[in-house]
Structure 1
Amino acid sequence: MTSLILKMQVIAALVLASYPVVAEISGEHEYKVACAGRHAESAMGDGPLATLLNISIPSLVDLSQSNDGAFPFEAVLTTIDGRDGVRAHGSAMPIWGERFQNSATSQRGETSDMVARGRILSLVYYLQSIQQ
Structure 2
Amino acid sequence: MKRLVLMAALAATPALAQDADIGRAHYHAHCATCHGLEGRGDGPMAGVLLIKPVNLTELSAQNGGTFPLERVVKRIDGRDPLVSHGSPMPVYGDYFEGSFDVPMKAPTGQPVLTSQPVVDLVAYLREIQRLE
Q: Report the TM range for the smaller structure's normalisation.
A: 0.5 to 0.7
Aligned to 2:64: 68
- Cα distance, 1:59 vs structure 2: 0.3
Percent pairwise identity: 34
State the TM-score, normalizing by the size of structure 2: 0.66
Aligned to 1:118: 116
- Cα distance, 1:94 vs structure 2: 2.4
Q: Which runs of 4+ in 1 moved over 2 A?
A: 93-101, 112-116
- Corresponding residue pairs, total: 107
Of the three residues 28, 49, 71, the one matched with 1:53 is 49
Aligned to 1:90: 83
From the superposition, tell whether residues 27 and 131 of structure 1 become closer, same or farther in structure 2 (CA, over 3 Å). Answer: same
Q: Which runs of 5+ in 2 are unaligned?
A: 103-113
- In structure 2, C-alpha distance between the alignment counterparts of 1:118 and 1:129, rounded to whole Å: 17
More strand by share: 2
Aligned to 1:31: 27
Aligned-residue CA RMSD in angstroms?
3.3
- In structure 1, C-alpha distance between the alignment counterparts of 2:22 and 2:51, rounded to whole Å: 28
- Cα distance, 1:90 vs structure 2: 1.4
State the TM-score, normalizing by the size of structure 1: 0.66
* Matched AA of 2:58: D
Is the CA contact (8 Å cut-off) linking 2:31 and 2:90 kept in structure 1?
no
Which secondary structure does the structure 2 equivalent of 1:26 belong to? helix
Q: Which runs of 5+ in 1 are unaligned?
A: 18-22, 102-111
Aligned to 1:80: 76
Is the CA contact (8 Å cut-off) linking 1:81 and 1:95 kept in structure 2?
no
